[in-house]
């Protein structure tokens, strides 16, 4: 290890994929001797890991970037780098080149492993370094990750997406679907288990199509069985699942594998068949609801969460009511709700009949008024039950209060000592709210 005593900070926007990429960049930087800091003013290297999935994520990056101008002026030796999904788009790189000339290094989602080389090539007096790959040729294995927690870890099982939902920029920023070899995944998780990690979250834009790009054609369900056998790992989570690819084989695997947690994040996006078709989702409302029925019949205590887009181009009041109907029938535990955001370069951006913002906001309010009581009712069912919790951290406002998650991914607050962090405990639920639960520790494992 080179001890250069330099400090770095990484600011991350977007999904778990980005969060985990930042963990890998931290791993790379610390192997070069860099030390983490939370304070931009004392950093020698600032990296922005950006997101392009919605307009507000993009604007936040520009806002934060603008604030760095004065820092760079005061300390010209400060290195400012930007990477992530935004940088995969040429029109955005052009904006950075034009308006944010103080940026030193631009790289993309496919070549974070080149960070040491980019830093070595950087020279304060030369021009901005731009190195973005259009698509990853192969998966780069062996990048060290410095993970945020020591007991739960993200593990990539695949990269990219082939679905081209008409609103979504991800296939253009993360490239085509590529699955990691099962032995690489299993070895990584075995290594994590040896280090004491208890929970893994398997990451992919659409984990249900895992394996399709592999010679072995091992399915996601088969991968779950392999991981379930790894000693030391106690919980397996995964996200995201595309409804069109969620097979009976997978439902059975979730049921059979004792370590696979009872939670599926299953975005439905919209309830109207007409809108689903325009979105290129490849399922109907009926197929989605049948899938939900099938899952709940086989795994009664499953928790279901979803993503919903409000105000997709052409969405009528009637279409919107179909979305509300799905919420009522599927009885989601919780949902992420998004106002449709135009993403240049996607088919939906050119669709006529874009929906005015005030209508989107009005529909969001109507939707939340239906969704929130359903989430609360689901939580209410857990009153007085005993839940297995992996303790994660102390509350920001009260250090005697701990928080952790049930196997069904519900956040629970309870009193306890900080040495329980990273341990699995049993908590009796004594109070339920819309988004969180409260309880008392009964037992330490
Ligand atoms: N506008 C709004 N929401 C979007 N999502 C993806 N693209 C857009 C967009 N253009 C949402 C989808 C997806 C989640 C990660 O982000 O609901 O499931
Ligand atoms: Fe985007 Fe659809 Fe791929 Fe998800 S499945 S990343 S929404 S294109």
Residue ranges per structural domain of the chain:
7-131, 149-261, 274-381, 386-444
- For 386-444, the fitting CATH number among 1.20.1640.10, 2.40.50.140, 3.30.70.100, 3.40.1360.10 is 2.40.50.140
User: What are the DSSP calls for 163-177, one per residue?
Assistant: ---TT--HHHHH-S-
Is any atom of ligand 1 closer than 6 Å to the C-beta of 288?
Answer: no
Gap between the Cα atoms of 20 and 153, Å rounded: 9
pLDDT bin (cut points 50, 70, 90) of residue 123 is confident
Atom of ligand 1 nearest to the CA of 167: 10
Atom of ligand 1 nearest to the CA of 15: 15
Name which residue sits closest to atom 7 of ligand 1, judged by CA. 168
Mutate to test the pocket of ligand 2, among 85, 169, 171 (most ligand atoms within 8 A of CB): 171
Atom of ligand 1 nearest to the CA of 341: 1
Is the model's pLDDT at 4 over the cut of 80?
no
Res 2: pLDDT: 54
Q: What are phi and psi of 155, to 5 degrees?
A: -135, 120
* 149-261 and 274-381: identical CATH topology: yes
pLDDT digits (tens, 9 = 90+) for 103-118: 999 999 999 999 999 9
CA 338–ligand 1 middle distance (angstroms): 6
Mean pLDDT of 135-150: 88
Provide the phi-psi class of 282: left if phi over 0, else alpha when psi is between -120 and 50, else beta. Answer: left
Fold of 7-131: Rossmann fold (3.40.50)
Helix pair 317-330, 357-380: axis angle to 10 deg: 10
Res 445: pLDDT: 60
pLDDT bin (cut points 50, 70, 90) of residue 138 is confident
Mutate to test the pocket of ligand 2, among 162, 173, 205 (most ligand atoms within 8 A of CB): 205
Res 336: pLDDT: 97
Is the model's pLDDT at 1 over the cut of 70?
no
**Cα first-last separation, the chain:** 38
Res 397: pLDDT: 84
Gap between the Cα atoms of 49 and 82, Å rounded: 6
pLDDT bin (cut points 50, 70, 90) of residue 269 is very high
Among 371, 299, 373, which Cα is nearest to 335's? 371
Mean pLDDT of 199-221: 93
Res 265: pLDDT: 98
Gap between the Cα atoms of 43 and 8, Å rounded: 5
Name which residue sits closest to atom 18 of ligand 1, judged by CA. 307
Name which residue sits closest to atom 2 of ligand 1, judged by CA. 340
**Ligand 2 shell residues, CB under 6 Å:** 161, 163-165, 168, 170-171, 205-206, 242
CA 99–ligand 2 middle distance (angstroms): 30
- For 149-261, the fitting CATH number among 3.30.930.10, 3.30.750.210, 3.30.413.10, 2.130.10.10 is 3.30.750.210
Is any atom of ligand 1 closer than 6 Å to the C-beta of 307?
Answer: yes
Nearest ligand to the C-alpha atom of residue 346 = 1
Q: What is the pTM of this model?
A: 0.94
Mean pLDDT of 142-165: 95
- For 274-381, the fitting CATH number among 3.30.413.10, 3.30.750.200, 3.40.50.740, 3.40.47.10 is 3.30.750.200
Is any atom of ligand 1 closer than 6 Å to the C-beta of 167?
Answer: yes
Res 5: pLDDT: 87
What is the overall mean pLDDT for the chain?
95
With a CB cutoff of 8 Å and minimum separation 6, the contacts of 218 are: 182, 210, 211
Half-sphere exposure of 265 (CA within 13 A, CB side): 17
CA 161–ligand 2 middle distance (angstroms): 6
Is any atom of ligand 1 closer than 6 Å to the C-beta of 364?
Answer: no
Is any atom of ligand 1 closer than 6 Å to the C-beta of 53?
Answer: yes
Res 217: pLDDT: 83
Atom of ligand 2 nearest to the CA of 168: 1
pLDDT bin (cut points 50, 70, 90) of residue 135 is confident
CA 239–ligand 1 middle distance (angstroms): 15
Atom of ligand 1 nearest to the CA of 342: 10
Nearest 5°: the CA angle 347, 351, 357 is 115
Gap between the Cα atoms of 164 and 162, Å rounded: 6
Provide the phi-psi class of 211: left if phi over 0, else alpha when psi is between -120 and 50, else beta. Answer: left
Nearest 5°: the CA angle 353, 54, 91 is 90
pLDDT digits (tens, 9 = 90+) for 364-419: 999 999 999 999 999 999 999 999 999 999 988 888 999 999 999 999 999 999 99
Res 127: pLDDT: 83
Mean pLDDT of 220-241: 97
Is any atom of ligand 1 closer than 6 Å to the C-beta of 173?
Answer: no
Atom of ligand 1 nearest to the CA of 343: 10
346 close to 167: Cβ distance less than 8 angstroms: yes
pLDDT digits (tens, 9 = 90+) for 295-340: 999 999 999 999 999 999 999 999 999 999 999 999 999 999 999 9
């Amino acid at each position: 290890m080179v001890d250069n005593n330099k400090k770095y900070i990484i600011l991350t926007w977007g999904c778990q994929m980005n969060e985990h990429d930042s963990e890998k960049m931290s791993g790379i930087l610390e192997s070069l001797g860099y030390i983490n800091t939370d304070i931009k003013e004392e950093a020698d290297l600032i990296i922005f890991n950006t997101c392009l999935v919605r307009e507000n994520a993009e604007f936040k990056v520009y806002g934060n970037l603008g604030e760095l101008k004065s820092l760079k002026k005061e300390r010209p030796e400060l290195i400012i780098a930007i990477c992530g999904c935004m940088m995969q788009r040429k029109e955005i790189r052009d904006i950075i080149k034009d308006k944010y000339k103080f940026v030193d290094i631009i790289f993309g989602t496919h070549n974070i492993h080149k960070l040491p080389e980019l830093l070595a090539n950087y020279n304060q007096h030369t021009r901005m370094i731009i190195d973005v790959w259009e698509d990853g040729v192969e998966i780069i294995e062996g990048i060290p990750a410095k993970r945020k927690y020591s007991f739960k870890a993200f593990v990539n099982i695949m990269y990219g997406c082939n679905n081209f939902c008409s609103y979504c920029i991800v296939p253009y920023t993360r490239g085509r679907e590529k699955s990691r070899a099962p032995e690489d995944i299993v070895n990584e998780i075995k290594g994590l288990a040896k280090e004491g990690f208890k929970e893994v979250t398997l990451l992919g834009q659409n984990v249900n199509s895992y394996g399709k790009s592999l010679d072995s054609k091992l399915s996601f369900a088969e991968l779950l069985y392999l991981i379930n056998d790894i000693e030391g790992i106690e919980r397996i989570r995964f996200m995201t699942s595309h409804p069109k690819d969620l097979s009976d084989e997978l439902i059975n695997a979730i049921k059979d594998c004792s370590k696979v947690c009872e939670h599926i994040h299953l975005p439905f996006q919209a309830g109207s068949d007409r809108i689903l078709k325009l979105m290129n989702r490849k399922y109907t409302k009926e197929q989605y609801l049948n899938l939900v029925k099938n899952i709940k019949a086989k795994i009664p205590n499953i928790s279901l969460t979803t993503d919903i887009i409000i105000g997709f181009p052409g969405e009528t009041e009637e279409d919107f009511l179909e979305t509300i109907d799905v919420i009522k029938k599927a009885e989601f535990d919780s949902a992420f709700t998004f106002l449709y955001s135009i993403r240049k370069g996607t088919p939906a951006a050119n669709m006529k009949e874009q929906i005015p913002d005030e209508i989107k906001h009005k529909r969001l309010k109507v939707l939340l008024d239906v969704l929130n009581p359903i989430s609360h009712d689901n939580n209410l069912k857990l009153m007085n039950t005993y839940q297995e919790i992996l303790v994660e951290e102390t509350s920001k406002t009260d250090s005697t209060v701990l928080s952790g998650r049930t196997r069904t991914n519900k956040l629970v607050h309870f009193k306890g000592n900080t040495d329980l962090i990273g341990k699995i405990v049993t908590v009796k639920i004594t109070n339920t709210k819309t988004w969180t639960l409260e309880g008392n520790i009964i037992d330490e494992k």
